[in-house]
Chain A
Amino acid sequence: ETGVTQTPRHLVMGMTNKKSLKCEQHLGHNAMYWYKQSAKKPLELMFVYSLEERVENNSVPSRFSPECPNSSHLFLHLHTLQPEDSALYLCASSQDYARGDPKNIQYFGAGTRLSVL
């Protein structure tokens, strides 16, 4: 157990549905991340929050909407997704963001496997 919990573990949704992914970390970290993991592709960083402020948005389509209500929780709201959005969505957290400190390790949750029909 890494201390980062993601729910649900699996999600199937139609292109017109609205759903949300949830991430919770119990590590007292200040930074949280959303990644997309597709087969045979590098992990793609989507969003970064540091101290509840969004600090990175890497050209992610607006059908993905993140929310960070506090430093322990991170959500990814989904609406009108496309089949190519099917992937494993990973949440991670680290003590701080963008510091050249080898102790600033990112801890990943187990992910949500999303299928868009």
Chain B
Amino acid sequence: QQQVKQSPQSLIVQKGGISIINCAYENTAFDYFPWYQQFPGKGPALLIAIRPDVSEKKEGRFTISFNKSAKQFSLHIMDSQPGDSATYFCAASPNHRDEFDRGSTLGRLYFGRGTQLTVWP
């Protein structure tokens, strides 16, 4: 059972455009939502993360938007650059017990399938 659903699978954006990647989850025990960036030949690296007590977090050109009621969160890359071309993974982690918990393990990261972003120059 996939705990985190990510879309789109691939994304092509022109340089200077906005890249948007969406993720959704069901488990209300999730309370930590990181995004990882992976370049070819490299392992994933933490890009930005958010907790559900805020609706938005911005770091440079990267912004996470979080909608707790809809159980959705998204990554926005403003002024996308060719150097942003990579695979992006959203993830979620439960750090407390919840009556709606669906068999998740505390502290474990549950990843989406990934989005391959290509930014054309």
Q: Are A and B subunits of one complex?
A: yes
Q: How many whole Å from A45's CB to the nearest CB in chain B?
A: 6
From B14-22, B37-45, B58-66, B69-77, the one touching the partner chain is B37-45
- Cα-based distance from A105 to B35 in the complex (angstroms): 11
Contacts A42-B2, A100-B95, A100-B96 given; indicate if A110 touches B42 (C-beta within 8 A). Answer: yes
**Is A102 close to B, CB under 8 A?**
yes
Chain B 110-121 per-residue mask, 1 if CB under 8 angstroms from chain A, else 0:
111110000000
**Is A60 close to B, CB under 8 A?**
no
Contact among B2, B9, B45 for A108, CB-based, below 8 A: B45
B49 and A102 within 8 A (CB)? yes
Interface magnitude class on chain B? 20 to 34
Interface magnitude class on chain A? 20 to 34
Contacts A108-B43, A109-B43 given; indicate if A100 touches B106 (C-beta within 8 A). Answer: yes
Chain A 77-117 per-residue mask, 1 if CB under 8 angstroms from chain B, else 0:
00000000000001010000111101011111111000000
The 8 closest A-B pairs by CB, nearest first: A100-B95, A108-B43, A98-B107, A43-B111, A42-B111, A98-B106, A108-B44, A110-B43
B interface residues (Cβ-Cβ under 8 A, vs A): 2, 4, 9, 31-32, 34, 36, 41-46, 49, 51, 89, 93, 95-96, 105-114
